Amino acid sequence: MSLLLTCSPLPALPPTLATPSRARLRVTASTAASAPDGAGATASGFPSFLPRAVERIRDGAAIRLAKRIERVPVQTGFSGSPILSSCVRPLKQQQDADPIVLLHGFDSSCLEWRYTYPLLEEAGLEAWAVDILGWGFSDLATRPPCDVASKREHLYQFWKSYIKRPMVLVGPSLGAAVAIDFSTNYPEAVSKLIFIGASVYSEGPKDMARMPKFVSYAGVFILKSLPLRFLATCLAFNKTPTEFFDWVQIGRLHCLLPWWEDATVDFMIRGGYNVIKQIKQVKHKCLVMWGEDDGIVSSKLSYRLQQELPDAILRQVRQCGHIPHVEKPREAAKLVLEFLERDKAEKADLASSVLT
């Protein structure tokens, strides 16, 4: 089971990333003050809808990204009222390049991108970090369904309401299955795909559908427990992070919301993701990124995925575990940017050949 929970030490960031600019602070403050659900910021600058445990986090990158999380209304066909959905929005939108939308892994949140997001933003990309329905920090007080079809529709309606043009969709771990399912159902919403440590060859937790519900809730209770989170941290990284407990707290912060258990059980008893047959249906250009020392999803599967995708390149990150965008954020950002630049160069060459 892939748990995207924590992060490893990050080398000192450039001053522009280590300290947010005044302009960035102004934008963040204004969006927090006008949050659609009426939730402003706390005295410490965090959105008031985040669990109070956020105040105990010491990781600077996580603190900065957490303060930018907001909730926006997303209307779906399966919920009578809009779902206030959590995300990090770009400081500015641009029309001359495709936006990049960052999903996360199983039972995680947009805080998974705390190190790589600012690097992509600093490179000039219009970056969105979006919480998948059922996880992250969205308001699920009405207990909407959180099965695969609902996650897909929710992401589509989010895209339709706020992004509105083809996007580069990035899916790490189980987020890769989310991205494959989404892109094969809504190909017009996607321009390119990036998979990181892709968990796409599992057939989902079928047995849970036949279990009594109290057994499922017991399993989910264990999923939230600190011992399991500690174990997952050890498996997820090539080297055990030094600030271990702080990063475990970051990874389980969303689990402290009152609807987390119900949303997770709902997803798991409905069978989860099974996208094995959809892989060959993907029509977009893809980057497959993998940590060489992935202890959760074998890097051997990276070759299989590259071969089964119609148009994909493979890049491996040396001395890295399951989550390159957390353990090796600079390398991950570099590979993303190179992939996007390569595609831009190919389009320019094609246009030039047509003109000549």
pLDDT of amino acid 17:
43
Say what the pLDDT of residue 244 is.
74
pLDDT score, position 13: 43
Looking at residue 7, its pLDDT comes to 36
pTM of the model: 0.84
Say if CB 168 and CB 196 are below 8 A apart.
no
For 221-248, write each residue's pLDDT tens digit.
788 888 888 787 778 888 776 777 888 8
Confidence at residue 225, expressed as pLDDT on a 0 to 100 scale: 83
> Which residues does the annotation mark as catalytic?
173, 294, 322
Residue ranges in the chain whose pLDDT is less than 70? 1-39, 205-211, 241, 346-356
- Confidence at residue 64, expressed as pLDDT on a 0 to 100 scale: 97
Q: Both tokens of residue 147? A: 């099965």
- Residue linked to tokens 């959905």: 85
Domain 52-354, classified CATH 3.30.720.110, yes or no = no
Instruction: Give CA–CA dist 174/295, Å, rounded.
Output: 15
Question: H helices of the chain, where?
Answer: 15-18, 22-33, 60-66, 116-122, 148-158, 174-185, 213-224, 226-236, 244-251, 260-269, 300-308, 324-327, 329-355
Q: Is 289 helix (H, G, I), strand (E, B) or coil?
A: strand
Single out the residue of 203, 179, 132, 204 nearest to residue 281, CA to CA: 179
- Integer Cα distance of 241 and 8 in angstroms: 5
pLDDT at res. 241: 67
CA–CA distances in Å: residue 346 to residues 25, 42, 196, 286: 37, 47, 23, 14
pLDDT of residue 111: 97
Residue 355: what pLDDT?
57
State the amino acid at position 190 in one-letter form.
V
**Residues contacting residue 353 through CB under 8 Å, at least 6 positions apart:** none
Q: Where are the domains of the chain?
A: 52-354
- C-alpha–C-alpha distance, residues 117 and 333, integer Å: 8
